[in-house]
Amino acid sequence: MKCMYNNFTEVSQMLFSIWSLNGTLINLGLDRRRRLSGGNLIISSLDRHQDVGMYQCMAYNTVGAILSRRASLQFAYLDHFKVHTRSAVSVREGQGVVLLCGTPTSSGDLTYAWVFNEYPYFVQQDNRRFVSQQTGNLYIAKVEPSDVGNYTCVVMNSITKGKVHSSPTSLILRTDGVMGEYEPKIEVNFPDNVPAAKGSTVTLECFALGNPVPEITWKRANGVPFPSKVKMKYSNAVLEIPSFQQDDTGGYECVAENKMGKNTAAGRLAFYAKPQWIQTMKDTALAIEERLHWECRANGRPRPSYTWLKNGQTSQKTKKRDGVLSVSVLTLSDAGMYQCVAENKHGIIYFAAELMVLASPPDFTGNVLRALLKAKAGTTVTLECKPQAYPLASILWKKGNLPIHTKDRITLSPDGTLRLANVSKSDAGSYTCFARNRFGMSSTTGRLLVTDPTRIIQGPVNMEIIVGESIVLPCQVASDPVLDVSFSWAFNGQLIAKGDGHFELVGGSKQIIKNIQLYHAGKYICVVDTDVESLSAVAVLIVKGPPSPPDSVTVEEVTDSTAQLTWSPGRDNGSPITNYLIQTRTPFTVGWQRVNTVPEIIDGNTLTATVVDLNAWVEYEFRVLAKNSVGVGEPSPVSVKTRTEDAVPDAAPGDVGGGGGSRSELVITWEPVPEELQNGESFGYIIAFRAFGEVTWTHVATSAPGASRYVYRNDSIAPFSPFHVKVGTYNSKGQGPFSPVVTIYSAEIEPSGMPAGVWARSVSASEIEVNWQALSFTPERVLGYEVHFTLLNGNRNHSQHNSNACHHPCCTLKAITSKLCRRHGNGCFSWATVIAKIIQFFVPTRQKTCQRVFKRTKENCLSTCLFMLLSVIGYHDTELRNSLHCNTVPDLMWE
């Protein structure tokens, strides 16, 4: 058995314990079976006759003693039935009978059963037969012939699981007739008062004999129906109430009834509870001659009674009443361990506390006056005189050698505290507190220094700052030179810690805030601490920044050229939002682009807008940016990709032109329409053309969106014939616009005529002039002439073509060649055939002759050259014509 010291305060001291059994001290010196271990009682070789009973431990040390709660030691057992032959029970048929079990001596909960004739045939309980678990008897309400036989009572101990059998009892029928009908007779009932603990399961039995077999019913005396938790067993012979509560108390009635009459048994269920503490006392230290008042309270059913113990014994000196312990004048002998005991018939509880009675002279150890106390002029100074003294000491104050009494600004409290109101420089000096009781006297001294008030002469001011800027918050004071002054800064109620890269304390008082962010907005406090006071200055810092990103950008409605957007605002970050900007992105744009909206300017209170001038059938993403006086904030999250509706094309191909090609061809070219302007699916081009003078257009369609050229072939097309041409667009929604009409010429062919009157003359030893008659009329366009020449007896050919513009009817062309002839014989050249092409551009049809001069530097071999005009070349390339210039003259030379 354990002896716990839950309420013993002086557990650091050596503890001892003694045990008692049934109120008698156990003498461990004479008992070899019992011994102590750490205060616990150990019993070996338990004996149910010697060791049964109520045990209690007393723990004690130099402070006092306390009793433990009581512990009951019981032994569960079940003795055998006495061995003897039981008399037979003879009854008439129809008569009721009770077979007695005769339970042997036992301890512990028992259960009962009856064997009919032989094991394991047990009597089955029904409305006619009942085995009481209270008495162990077998009750048969109305005997029938089938009941004749031998009956054995079986008893089992629920704790030891031991089981014993009685001698059999024979039940026989009398032969002198059958029992007539009679009213019920209740043989099993319950006491007039049944105590029941909270939460327990309560079982009530009721069974009656009678002919016919009685019917059992139950009811409450107050007429209240049974709650659903109540159970009826064994044909209503047993009423079971689980989890018993206060509401279940009251009168209960059992009614046994048959046609001959009825009988009633009644009793009351009473709620009981063991004591439980609701108020206890605490360990207390009081000075000698002071008054003690302790009170403890417990609830329980029935109401508990109280007992007070001192050191485990009832105290005679104390005044006790209903849980209250009082001592008017404490002495040293009153010190000790006290216990409040609350008890009713269902249980007993203990609570312990220590009473210390103190007696000592005044002692200022740990509570002396400060050697130097600084105070600001005009304030109130409090000097406490609190020595440790038992009993309390009387107090006397002196300034220097003069006693201090209560007057004007000076107050002396009963507890010895001295208060000086509105102090000035004259109050400075030495103060001494004297304390005295009947055990002695002691004193403590301190000096008061009165200082001038500290003032903040420059503190921080409210400011509005832009994100990213840096500021200095000043905090400058004027103070008495004898004071130690320290500065600290707080931001929104929290001290600013060192190590934060944004904050820096400069000069001991100035607070620098670098690279201010939005979260730096709030209240800044400069706290000035001195020896005598603490003062502060407050400034509110408003940080403004670009707005936070808008959120929840949603495309509400889409057409072929518009999209309606809605969004939710972000934080304005200290500056109201003035307007919103909308940007869009498509697969065809580089980055985000600003778009046109309705309204054109979206003010800060508007959270919806319509984006206009969008291209049809293009997939768009949108984002919204907010702007305030500080700037434009970060963009919102991107909206879901949304495609505009398709529409008829509204863009025509650009740069329509053409020309050239082969005979009988009309070549038409254009710049394709970009994909983002095609406005829908199934995009293509419509090419329309007609010859000059015709009214009807010829239309041709191509379904290739990237097409940029179309060739129309027809043998009836005359060379270099003018045509009107335009190119349009279409898609699945319909036909779009055409380009402006342009004039394009069909393909040209080479000139059909040739120049006449070709002749040449020698100009010098190195030059020959060639002349011919220009063509006066040809249906083809003539752009220039080509001159071929051949060196006689030559075996090599060479030609070089140079082209330059010339506005004159005939210009000199020089072609430069190298290594075209070689030395042969007496200095003449052995030549291959050499053809030089000399081109004259833009020869007017009115020109009759054209001259060419050729230079020869190698002797006079040029006299052997024969010139022949081979052909006329027609040029129709407009760019080439426009890029040529007159003054450039190519030369033809021989080395």
CATH code of the region 551-643 = 2.60.40.10
* Predicted pLDDT of residue 154: 96
301 pLDDT tier (thresholds 50, 70, 90): confident
**631-685 per-position pLDDT tens digit:** 999 999 999 999 999 999 999 999 999 998 999 999 999 999 999 999 999 999 9
- Structural domain boundaries in the chain: 16-73, 85-180, 287-358, 363-451, 457-544, 551-643, 654-745, 756-893
Question: 250 pLDDT exceeds 90?
Answer: yes
Question: 892 pLDDT exceeds 80?
Answer: no
Mean pLDDT of 369-374: 92
Question: 162 pLDDT exceeds 80?
Answer: yes
Mean pLDDT of 841-862: 39
CATH code of the region 363-451 = 2.60.40.10
Task: Please give the Cα distance from 748 to 877 (Å, whole number).
Answer: 11
HSE (side-chain half, CA atoms, 13 Å) at 349: 19
832 pLDDT tier (thresholds 50, 70, 90): very low
Q: Of 206, 200, 207, whose CA–CA distance to 248 is shortest?
A: 200
6 pLDDT tier (thresholds 50, 70, 90): low
What is the topology classification, in CATH, of domain 457-544?
Immunoglobulin-like (2.60.40)
Mean pLDDT of 392-420: 92
CA dihedral 85, 87, 89, 90 (to 10 degrees): 130
Question: 15 pLDDT exceeds 80?
Answer: no
> CB–CB of 393/353 below 8 Å?
no
803 pLDDT tier (thresholds 50, 70, 90): very low
> CB–CB of 94/79 below 8 Å?
no
* Predicted pLDDT of residue 890: 35
> Could you say which of 3.30.540.10, 2.60.40.10, 3.40.50.1980, 3.90.76.10 is the CATH number of the domain covering 85-180?
2.60.40.10
Q: Which segments of 514-637 are extended strands (E)?
A: 522-529, 534-544, 551-558, 563-568, 577-585, 593-594, 596-598, 602-603, 608-612, 619-628
* Predicted pLDDT of residue 884: 31
826 pLDDT tier (thresholds 50, 70, 90): very low
* Partners of 355 in the β-ladder: 284, 336
> CB–CB of 506/544 below 8 Å?
no
User: Is this model's pTM higher than 0.75 or not?
Assistant: no
Mean pLDDT of 565-574: 94
CATH code of the region 16-73 = 2.60.40.10
Task: Please give the Cα distance from 96 to 665 (Å, whole number).
Answer: 136
Q: Which CATH architecture has domain 287-358?
A: Sandwich (2.60)
CA distances from 322 to 318, 325, 328, 709 (A): 13, 9, 17, 119
Q: Of 622, 615, 740, whose CA–CA distance to 683 is shortest?
A: 615
Mean pLDDT of 54-80: 89
Burial class (CB in 10 A: 0-12, 13-18, 19+), 96: buried
Q: Say whether 654-745 and 363-451 share the same fold.
A: yes
> Could you say which of 3.50.50.60, 1.20.1730.10, 2.60.40.10, 3.40.47.10 is the CATH number of the domain covering 654-745?
2.60.40.10
Phi, psi dihedral angles at 108 (to 5 degrees) = 110, 165
